[in-house]
């Protein structure tokens, strides 16, 4: 026995120490040659350590996990909450299993770890790719210090339906911006070298088109054309794959009736063959087994066969389909062992790339963990991104910014002074330290003069505050110079399995707003939410509205900087806010239709009879405390050929009295193509800082590459012909020019 162990250890020792062997392929192949079929299948099996998710199964479950590691029938865990237990499991793998293959530990680090960043949808409204990358870098620093090797992020589903609870996890409705943000997140997590201690494996999810679930209902059917799949939903995944992301995750949904976990066209043909993706694909939670419910397999054996024959899932997350059935399927000749070898190799390569074979304990560094929890840079990075993510939606009579010397201020509403978990964070907050969250009251208290009186209403501590509480809140409002109403929906109302059929302010928060408005006091509405809401009444009646989203650990400090003008809000919406629920789906890059509405209330045009076509707040919209004027939009030529570059320039001037940032946007429109093209498509942006009175010329570059689309033969190419280019501060506030591709 000893001899066998020694023989086994030899190849690792050689490979691990001998860094000259660059070829991880060779290393993985060498290990696979030593493995039994059961051990290879074990690497495809991932278990969730339940007590991280609440149901403490006690010792029975723990013995099961440890036995599985000992027997080599598990290769990965998710949701393992504490470092000591990870160390224990890894020691069993390294000292008691036959093959001594290191375990890879995963967790949903979706927007920060311990220090929670704003939700990804909020982050996307900053349009600040560097700040977003830095946020994931910080998350990777903190998570890797606590034994997380692999995060199930970024979620890069394009979303056009705010009824879906998971829009909070994505980057909104635009494919092109979503692709840029996906790359920034991959770079943040994986850095430039996965083998470093502070970089972690990322995971592009959910592949694919999960955001197109019918009616925004969670886990619902997706019925889209191949064109829409390729044009709208796949590009962010292709960008992540091209950026070197190490893993993908299947989505729960079907596309044209085929569940992603068994969708050969989507995973084997497009991802693994057409895109030549060499990483591995993990199922979503039991999504392989769920093919039974989808009705495309008759039993557990069949779901495992379907996924492995089609090579659509390399790792089975918590579904037990592979570990229960694959050995028998191979013995019955129903699944080629070569497919299992391929899946196993993809996973082993990731473990080699992370350096886990070289040092299985490299991420278990308690000193680094303690240091990371004290690093002041991390909360500051979160605060920076939080304030850049906030969007000023309305500011009549320039109520905002407030003065720090203000005599008194009333803070009213469920989010005024909450210490409840997820009120400022979202559904995905594993590892969050709720005690460290700075709430709105604390942030404002840190900001204003000591003489300022802050009246905090605590009776409306929840969204369903009763009439008597509302009357008390009115009394609080009457005492103050200005009222800040803190309302919204907390992390229990959005996130996974939190689709809503109504997307107004939940509870009777609107009744509270009405009552407080009646006092005649200046009112600032601060929204804490994880999705676009229907705010028509609020927009008609409240003079100032600030979208704060779910800002994370530094919520109060970031908000205080914005409310009191230390930071001039610069965020721009990446997802349209519908005018009404019935308008959904509404997004800026719609097709023109055969009867485009030109003027309001035209008859026999594509429109509603009772509401406008435009959303309440459009994509790319966001106000500032200052004003920016756009002028001198000019093209370097009126036409280009397929090898030339068109320069589109514009001058922006800060004509207000506050310094501030402006996100200058550039869109195109293909006027005549083989298929109908969107009325606008974002193809460039630049975030600039201008002092009051300062102006700057911004120049965008366009090439034929930017003009490509999936034509009538589903070939991705640009047509010769005429185009429009639009430049402005939102998708609706633009100046247009025309040019041709010759």
> Which residues inside 637-676 make contact with ligand GLC, applying CB under 6 A?
none
Q: Which residue, 78 or 664, has its beta carbon nearer to ligand GLC? A: 78
CA 249 and chain centroid, separation: 14
Q: Which residue, 152 or 237, has its beta carbon nearer to ligand GLC? A: 152
Q: Residue 681, interface with ligand GLC (CB under 6 A)?
A: no
* Closest approach of ligand GLC to the CB of residue 319, in Å: 11
Task: Give the closest residue to 61 by CA, choosing from 44, 37, 72, 77.
Answer: 77
Q: Which residue is nearest to ligand GLC (CB)?
A: 152
Q: Residue 284, interface with ligand GLC (CB under 6 A)?
A: yes
* Closest approach of ligand GLC to the CB of residue 170, in Å: 11
Q: Which residue, 106 or 512, has its beta carbon nearer to ligand GLC? A: 106
Query: How many Å apart are CA 308 and CA 717, to the nearest integer?
Result: 34
Site string for ligand GLC, 350-379 (x = CB under 6 A): ------------------------------
Q: Which residue has the tokens 């009867």?
A: 595
Q: Which long-range contacts (CB under 8 A, 24 or more apart) does 269-278 make?
A: 270/234, 271/207, 271/237, 271/241, 272/311, 275/238, 275/241, 277/241, 277/248, 278/346, 278/349
* The two three-digit tokens of residue 731, written as one number: 């998708």
* Closest approach of ligand GLC to the CB of residue 614, in Å: 33
Number of H helices, E strands in the chain: 22, 28
Helix ranges (H only) for 18-106 are 24-33, 37-43, 59-71, 83-96
Identify any residues that bridge with 701 across adjacent strands, giving them in sequence order.
647
* Closest approach of ligand GLC to the CB of residue 152, in Å: 3
73-100: burial string, b at 16+ Cβ within 10 Å, e else: bbbbbbbbbebebbebbbebbeeebbbb
Q: Which residue, 47 or 513, has its beta carbon nearer to ligand GLC? A: 47
Q: Which residue, 1 or 497, has its beta carbon nearer to ligand GLC? A: 497
**Cβ–Cβ < 8 Å for 495, 447:** no
**Cβ–Cβ < 8 Å for 378, 141:** yes
> Which residues inside 480-519 make contact with ligand GLC, applying CB under 6 A?
496
Query: How many Å apart are CA 675 and CA 669, to the nearest integer?
Result: 13
* Closest approach of ligand GLC to the CB of residue 496, in Å: 6
* Closest approach of ligand GLC to the CB of residue 376, in Å: 30
Q: Residue 205, interface with ligand GLC (CB under 6 A)?
A: yes
* The two three-digit tokens of residue 231, written as one number: 């044009």
Q: Which residue has the tokens 């190849």?
A: 11
Q: Which residue, 253 or 654, has its beta carbon nearer to ligand GLC? A: 253
284 included as an active-site residue: yes
Q: How many residues bind ligand GLC (CB under 6 A)?
A: 7
Query: How many Å apart are CA 382 and CA 556, to the nearest integer?
Result: 12
**What's phi and psi for 44, nearest 5 deg?**
-90, 0
Q: Residue 108, interface with ligand GLC (CB under 6 A)?
A: yes
Give the three-state DSSP class for 322: helix
**What's phi and psi for 629, nearest 5 deg?**
-110, 145
- Greatest Cα pair distance, the chain, in angstroms, is 86
* Closest approach of ligand GLC to the CB of residue 110, in Å: 8
Query: How many Å apart are CA 43 and CA 349, to the nearest integer?
Result: 12
* Closest approach of ligand GLC to the CB of residue 138, in Å: 20
**Cβ–Cβ < 8 Å for 430, 79:** yes
Task: Give the closest residue to 139 by CA, choosing from 382, 386, 365.
Answer: 382
List 146, 161, 174, 284, catalytic entry: 284
**Cβ–Cβ < 8 Å for 531, 162:** yes
* The two three-digit tokens of residue 291, written as one number: 């093919």
> Which residues inside 116-175 make contact with ligand GLC, applying CB under 6 A?
152
Q: Residue 285, interface with ligand GLC (CB under 6 A)?
A: yes
> Which residues inside 68-87 make contact with ligand GLC, applying CB under 6 A?
78
Q: Which residue, 248 or 588, has its beta carbon nearer to ligand GLC? A: 248
Q: Residue 316, interface with ligand GLC (CB under 6 A)?
A: no
Q: Which residue, 167 or 410, has its beta carbon nearer to ligand GLC? A: 167
Q: Which residue, 205 or 500, has its beta carbon nearer to ligand GLC? A: 205
Task: Give the closest residue to 576 by CA, choosing from 543, 618, 525.
Answer: 618
Q: Which residue, 79 or 389, has its beta carbon nearer to ligand GLC? A: 79
* The two three-digit tokens of residue 587, written as one number: 């997004």
First to last CA, the chain: 74
Q: Residue 50, interface with ligand GLC (CB under 6 A)?
A: no
* Closest approach of ligand GLC to the CB of residue 657, in Å: 45
* Closest approach of ligand GLC to the CB of residue 174, in Å: 21
Residues that bind ligand GLC (CB under 6 A): 78, 108, 152, 205, 284-285, 496
Catalytic residues: 284
């Amino acid at each position: 026995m000893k001899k066998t162990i020694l023989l086994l250890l030899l190849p690792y020792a050689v490979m691990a120490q001998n860094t000259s062997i660059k070829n991880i392929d060779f290393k993985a192949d060498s290990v696979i040659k030593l493995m039994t079929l059961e051990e290879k299948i074990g690497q495809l099996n991932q278990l969730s350590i339940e007590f991280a998710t609440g149901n403490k199964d006690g010792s029975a479950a723990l013995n099961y996990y440890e036995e599985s590691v000992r027997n080599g029938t598990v290769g990965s865990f998710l949701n393992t909450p504490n470092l000591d237990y990870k160390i224990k499991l890894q020691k069993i793998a390294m000292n008691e299993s036959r093959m001594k293959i290191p375990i890879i530990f995963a967790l949903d680090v979706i927007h920060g770890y311990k220090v929670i960043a704003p939700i990804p949808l909020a982050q996307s409204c900053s349009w600040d790719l560097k700040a977003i990358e830095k946020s994931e870098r910080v998350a990777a620093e903190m998570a890797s210090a606590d034994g997380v090797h692999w995060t199930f992020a970024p979620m890069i589903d394009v979303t056009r339906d705010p009824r879906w609870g998971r829009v909070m996890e994505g980057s909104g409705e635009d494919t092109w911006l979503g692709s840029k943000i996906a790359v920034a997140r991959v770079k943040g997590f994986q850095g430039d070298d996965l083998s470093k201690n502070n970089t972690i494996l990322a995971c592009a999810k959910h592949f694919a088109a999960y955001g197109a679930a019918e009616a925004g209902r969670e886990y619902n059917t997706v019925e889209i054309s191949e064109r829409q799949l390729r044009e709208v939903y796949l590009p962010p995944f292709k960008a992540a794959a091209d950026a070197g992301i190490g893993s993908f995750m299947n989505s729960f949904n079907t596309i044209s009736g085929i569940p992603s976990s068994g969708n050969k066209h989507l995973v084997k043909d497009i991802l693994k063959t057409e895109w030549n993706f060499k990483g591995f694909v993990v199922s979503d939670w039991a999504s392989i087994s769920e093919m039974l419910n989808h009705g495309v397999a008759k039993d557990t054996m069949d779901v495992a066969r379907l996924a492995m024959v089609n090579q659509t899932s390399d790792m089975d997350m918590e579904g037990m389909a592979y570990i229960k059935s694959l050995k028998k399927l191979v013995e019955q000749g129903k699944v080629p062992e070569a497919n299992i070898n391929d899946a196993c190799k993809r996973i082993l390569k990731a473990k080699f790339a992370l350096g886990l074979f070289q040092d299985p304990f490299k991420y278990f560094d308690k000193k680094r963990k303690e240091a990371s929890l004290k690093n002041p840079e991390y909360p500051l990075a979160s605060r920076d991104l939080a304030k850049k993510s906030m969007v000023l939606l309305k500011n009549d009579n320039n109520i905002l910014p407030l003065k720090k010397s203000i005599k008194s201020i009333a803070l009213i509403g469920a989010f005024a002074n909450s210490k409840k978990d997820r009120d400022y964070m979202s559904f995905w907050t594993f590892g969050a330290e709720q005690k460290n969250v700075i709430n709105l009251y604390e942030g404002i208290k840190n900001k204003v003069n000591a003489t300022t009186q802050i009246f905090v209403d605590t009776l409306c501590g929840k969204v369903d505050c009763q009439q008597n509480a509302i009357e008390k809140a009115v009394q609080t409002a009457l005492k103050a110079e200005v009222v800040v109403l803190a309302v919204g929906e907390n992390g229990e109302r959005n996130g996974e399995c939190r689709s809503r059929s109504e997307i107004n302010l939940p509870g009777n928060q609107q009744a509270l707003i009405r009552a407080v408005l009646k006092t005649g006091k200046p009112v600032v509405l601060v929204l804490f939410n994880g999705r676009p809401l229907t705010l028509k009444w609020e927009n008609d009646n409240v003079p100032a509205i600030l979208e704060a989203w779910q800002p994370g650990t530094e919520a109060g400090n970031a908000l205080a900087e914005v409310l009191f003008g230390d930071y001039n809000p610069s965020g721009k919406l990446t997802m349209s806010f519908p005018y009404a629920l019935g308008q959904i789906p509404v997004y800026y890059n719609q097709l023109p239709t055969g009867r485009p509405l030109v003027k309001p209330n035209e008859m026999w045009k594509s429109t509603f009879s009772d509401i406008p076509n435009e959303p309440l707040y459009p994509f790319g919209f966001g106000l500032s405390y200052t004003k920016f004027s756009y002028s001198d939009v000019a093209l370097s030529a009126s036409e280009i050929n397929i090898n030339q570059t068109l320069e589109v320039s514009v001058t922006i001037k800060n004509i207000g009295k506050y310094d501030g940032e402006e996100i200058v946007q550039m869109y195109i429109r293909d006027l005549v193509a083989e298929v109908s093209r969107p009325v606008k498509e974002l193809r460039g942006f630049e975030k600039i800082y201008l002092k009051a009175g300062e102006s700057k010329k911004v120049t965008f570059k366009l090439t034929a590459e930017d003009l490509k689309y999936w034509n009538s033969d589903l070939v991705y190419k640009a047509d010769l012909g005429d185009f429009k280019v639009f430049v402005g501060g939102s998708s609706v506030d633009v100046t247009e020019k025309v040019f041709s591709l010759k």
